[in-house]
Structure 1
Amino acid sequence: MSGERKSMDDIAMEKAPWAGIEHLERHMRAGLTQDDAEFLQSYDVDIKKQDRVYHKVDWRLCPMLAALYLISHLDRANIGNAKIEGLEASLNMTGTDYNVALAVFFIPYVLCEVPSNMLLTKFTRPSVYMSILIFCWGVVMTLSGVVQNFGGLVATRFFLGLFEAGFFPGAIYLVGQWYPPNRTQFRMSLFYCASACSGAFSGLLAAGIARMNGLGGYEGWRWIFIIEGLATVLMAGLCWFCLPDSPALAVGKWLTEEEARFLQLTHIYTRGLQKKPVLDESGKAKFQWSVLWQVLTDWQLYLQALVFMSNAVPNYGLKFTMPQIIKNMGYTSSRAQLLTAPPYFCGAISALVSSLLADRFTWRMPFIVASQALLIIAYSILFSKAEQITDNIPLCYFAVFVACVGIYPILPGCNATREEGYGHCFMICMGNCGGIVGSFIFLQRESPKYPTGFGSSLAFAAAGIVSALTLETLFWSINKKNEKFTEDEIRRKYTEAQLEKMGDRSPLFKYHL
């Protein structure tokens, strides 16, 4: 359902052990020499051999990226924990000041994602660039603990968004360097599991750190920023030494030359079958206005962005406000911090389970729509019962659990697509704008009912269901239409250049439902 586009070559690749000479020819058509094609095919016929190589990568790349993703979400969302520890009163914030501070983060975050990834590709060692980003936002996070007014807080939130902007697309870039497209979804689900865990750890850490209130003359909320910021700085050093960069640089350390060659050739093969960039006279990739126009007029990207937003708006709205919602139930600040952890842990489990099931059944739509339906149930309960929240504590707390279980499975299915250049970046940028919306829907003057917050979250979840079902129906219809023609018939009718120019309109493409 996510809109992953599969060519006939990709389908053959997934059935590699039985592809024979035709598969060898496809290897060579992707730009490999005959020697390289024969070497790669020797791995294709031995799935266990492939798995052993990818398991090596899993143990070194995935835990590191998941830990860094956890840290990034911890640092952007701990402002919600700081709020109930006295942040607003200390900085004389009133009205929508808190919402403005939340939203400022997303302005550079959305605008700088693509430029940051362009800069990342200039580095021989991506771990160096990623370490610099993490170090910078760790310093900014630490300095957030010493700001003296609202303006200082806004400035630190802006720079936090600026430096965090490059991490997620950089992580996706790294995953794409190590894994073929059909092995990325579960690895990406680990990121969203880490995002859910960050909410749980944020509450647990905040409850403990807040006990440092008064130490060194600093309030408890300041120590939350300082301690977690310093931990991020330490993680930057770990990233520098431990984050794998590329198969070539891992030879002799934990990969053999043969294993590295397999990973490199797989990368060349899978990317070689995709549309190649147009080069200018100097040999550099040429910007194509026609491609940009094609992206802007691509109906499915807007529907996919709505599916993305059905996660982003409720997710950020809840993440920035959950400690306050639970505190409104009548709990103390420290108790409220602790009670945020269990719902997030359930969200982490749901992200992993739904991803495994989606991979098992190779069908994403049911798991996305089921998650969105859970959001509708959760926010319907909160919308109707939050006004008398102290009289409905068990029911409202249960609804928070249901909301977390529904939020985290959506993005792994929506975002587990192959790299598609401008289109994929455009969809992610539009989807991340949901963070700005999520920053403004929970207004303090509407506490504890939060009709705008709960109502908007409910509406975006409903819009996500409509978008998901529409995409599923249209993709299924297009696939059925294209199945009427064989690959040989299509290639006799169109040249290779014509098929590449068509992009996803090509009859060779098959949408992964």
Structure 2
Amino acid sequence: MALERTHDVKIECYEHESSPSPGTQDGELLAPDVRPAAEKQLVRTLDMRLLPALILIYLINGIDRAAVASARLKGLQQDLLLTDIQYEIVLAILYVSYIPAQLPSNMILNKISRPSYYMSACVILWGVTSALTGVAHNYAGILSTRLFVGLPEAAFYPGGTYLLSRWYTRKELALRATIFTGGGLISIAFGSLIAAGILSSMEGQMGIRAWRWLFYFEGSITIVIGILTVFLLPDWPHNTRWLSPAQRRLAQVRLTEDAGEADEDNGSDSIFKGLLMAFRDPTVFIFGAVACFQLVGGGFVGFFPTIVATLGFSTTVTLLLAAPPWIIATIFSCLNAWHADRTGERYLHVTVPYWMLCLGYVIAVSTMSVPGRYISTFIMAAGSSSYPLMIVWLASAVPRPPAKRSVAIAIMNGCAGVGALSFIWKSEWGPEYRPSMFISMGTLGLGAVLATVIRCILARQNKRLEREEVDSLTSSEKERIENAARLEGLTYEDALQRRRGFRYLL
């Protein structure tokens, strides 16, 4: 995981193969008097274009994921003659294709020049496959459609996260990634509201069951969004068409300064070299294990409407009650990520929500009263919202080269998908679901332990980098630092701290 560093990087000498040399017009935004305003404008442009596009796609992605659970409340399981085990397999089968497809998808994404085209095509394909779920008439039919929907979906979340990491600096990324993932959290809320509307009003229309209409509507909306995606998403910082040459250069320089080296693969950084680098880095797999435990611990998400149904209300009221916890969870996750960016801290912002989730489980285990159980769903939803910070922590821990980072993100998200395959929310354990919650609390504890291990590893790496910096200083450089410290009234250590290079975020 060692990161080769070149100190005192001369950003003005950085050149990308597709960028003109400094001194020409594309470097006009790098001047000290114009750069701060230009950089704010660039980030604002990305926030207004890249983020909304990803949120919109994730919104419809989450609605599709929640559709099966919502459709179950209106007869899907009975119409298709599914046993409880078969229903759980239908939920899990998506991950059988989704998990292994993420790795080659991100490797492809890293090498193609127009990610907007690639991701748009994938969104359209999953919209078509999702709509076909409404055509299923038996177990084999719905199993096939859910299996194939996982292939195009595999391009989206790890690909979207990687795309964000190619545009935002490390201290901008946590909030943006969480806002992006917030689309998924909100989708659970809106998915429930949309499902409530369709399931309550479309039953028997044109002789078709309401749960089938649910898939037809959501699949059609996904296809339209996929067509729009090609115009909304950017490509890479060096070739995005809706940015000026000067803005493209500024985007590249920002990321170069952030890690002290260019955010580009060099001639020797092939996709297979990135694959090998990621597989040889044990920290990547520790991140993956934490993600897996986190998804097991937060596995209630896929069964949320069923859990809310234990409150004893009708289908429509249950789906309406399932929405507010995820709205609160989205707000909490954004505030948590904002503070993580502001402080540069990662470990506590990732693990404290684990203990919140455990608190929600403790309340749910302790009572079956409607107020107590419903309050617990808010705490559980908020506590399950730190996953985007975990994947952002990985992206900052594997900053270069991009070929390795793209694979590492896919590996971690794939491991998280394995966690989502856990069959711990069994109907025979309902309506209390106490064994499910006890197992979830145990896996969250294991995740917190491994997150502590990651923090210790990165702290040790930072100490090594600091020793290397001190050892590389010449006697004249040390003397200048001592003089600066004396003139500014600082200690030598404080003055040295001010000229520190790259450090891993803890």
Does TM-score exceed 0.5, indicating one fold? Answer: yes
Deviates more, 1:451-460 or 1:26-35: 26-35
* 1:322 counterpart = 2:304: yes
Q: What is the CA-CA distance between 1:274 and the residue it aligns to? A: 6.0
Higher RCO (C-alpha 8 Å, min separation 6): 1
Structure 1 unaligned residues grouped into runs of 5+: 13-21, 493-506
User: 1:58-457 maps to which residues of 2 (within 5 A)?
Assistant: 58-121=47-110, 123-211=112-200, 212-246=202-236, 251=241, 253=242, 255-266=243-254, 273=261, 285=270, 287-288=272-273, 292=276, 295-296=278-279, 298-315=281-298, 317-385=299-367, 389=368, 392-416=369-393, 417=395, 418=399, 419=402, 420-421=404-405, 422-437=407-422, 440-457=423-440
Q: Deviations over 1:354-381 (max 9, x none)?
A: 0001111111222222101101111222
**Structure 1 counterpart SS, 2:31:** helix
Q: Which amino acid aligns with 1:173?
A: Y
- Assess, with a 3 A threshold, how the Cα gap between structure 1 residues 471 and 242 changes in structure 2: closer, same or farther: closer
Query: Partners in 2 of 1:170 and 1:443 — Cα distance?
Result: 32
Q: Residue 430 of structure 1: SS of its match in structure 2? A: helix
What do residues 288-339 of structure 1 show as CA deviations (whole Å, max 9, x unaligned)?
A: 49x73x6445443333223323432244x22221111111221111111101
Please give the alpha-carbon distance, in whole angstroms, between the structure 2 residues aligned to 1:302 and 1:250. Answer: 33
- Counterpart in 1 of 2:452? 469
Secondary structure class of the residue paired with 1:89 = helix
Cα deviation, 1:410-461, whole Å, max 9, x if unaligned, reads 4324434245434443233222211212xx1111222212234222221121
In structure 2, the gaps of 5 or more residues are: 476-499
Q: Residue 486 of structure 2 corresponds to which residue in structure 1?
A: none
Deviation at 1:160, TM superposition (A): 0.9
Q: Deviations over 1:89-108 (max 9, x none)?
A: 01001131111111110011
SS in 2 for 1:381: helix
Q: Compared with structure 1, are the counterparts of its residues 73 and 481 closer, same or farther at alpha carbon in structure 2 (3 Å cutoff)?
A: same
Is contact 2:354-2:383 (8 Å) kept? yes
Match of 1:511 in 2: 504
Q: Deviation at 1:59?
A: 0.7
Contact 2:256 2:263 in 1 (8 A): no
Task: Mark the CA change 1:271 to 1:399 in structure 2 (over 3 Å): closer, same or farther.
Answer: same
1:53 & 1:286 partners in 2: Cα distance?
Answer: 29
| Alpha-carbon spacing, 1:344–1:175, altered in 2? closer, same or farther (3 Å) | same
1:109 positional shift: 0.6
Output the TM-score relative to the length of structure 1.
Answer: 0.82
Change (3 A) 1:351 1:148: same
> Which whole-Å CA distance do the structure 2 matches of 1:75 and 1:370 have between them?
29
What one-letter code is carried by the residue in structure 2 that aligns with 1:358?
A
8 Å CA contact retained: 1:193, 1:348 = yes
The answer as to whether partners of 1:277 and 1:286 remain within 8 angstroms in 2 is no
Q: 1:229 to 1:491 in 2, by over 3 A?
A: farther
Q: 1:30 to 1:486 in 2, by over 3 A?
A: farther
Distance 1:303 1:122, change over 3 A: closer
Distance 1:286 1:135, change over 3 A: closer
In 1, Cα distance between equivalents of 2:371 and 2:470: 58
How far is 1:201 from its partner?
0.4
Give the aligned length: 469
Shift of 1:127: 2.0
Flag the 1:481–1:461 CA change in 2: closer, same or farther, 3 A. Answer: same
Q: Is the 8 A contact 1:7 1:509 kept in 2?
A: no
Q: What secondary structure does 2:421 align onto?
A: helix
Q: Deviations over 1:462-489 (max 9, x none)?
A: 1122122232234334423542342562
> Hey, what's the Cα distance between the residues in 1 that align with 2:33 and 2:233?
27
SS at match of 1:511: coil
1:131 touches 1:240 (CA, 8 Å); kept in 2? yes
Residues 151 and 447 from structure 1, CA distance in 2 versus in 1: closer, same or farther, beyond 3 angstroms?
same
| Farther-moved stretch of structure 1 (300-309 vs 317-326) | 300-309
Distance 2:11 2:49 in 1: 31
Deviation at 1:150, TM superposition (A): 0.9
TM-score w.r.t. the length of structure 2 is 0.83
Question: For residues 31 and 242 of structure 1, what CA distance do their matches in structure 2 show?
Answer: 24
Q: CA-atom RMSD, angstroms? A: 3.2
Asked whether the 8 Å contact 1:8–1:487 carries over to 2, the reply is no
- 8 Å Cα contact 1:326/1:339 also seen in 2: yes
- Residues 78 and 105 of structure 1: CA distance in aligned 2, closer, same or farther (over 3 Å): same
Residue identity in the other structure for 1:169: P
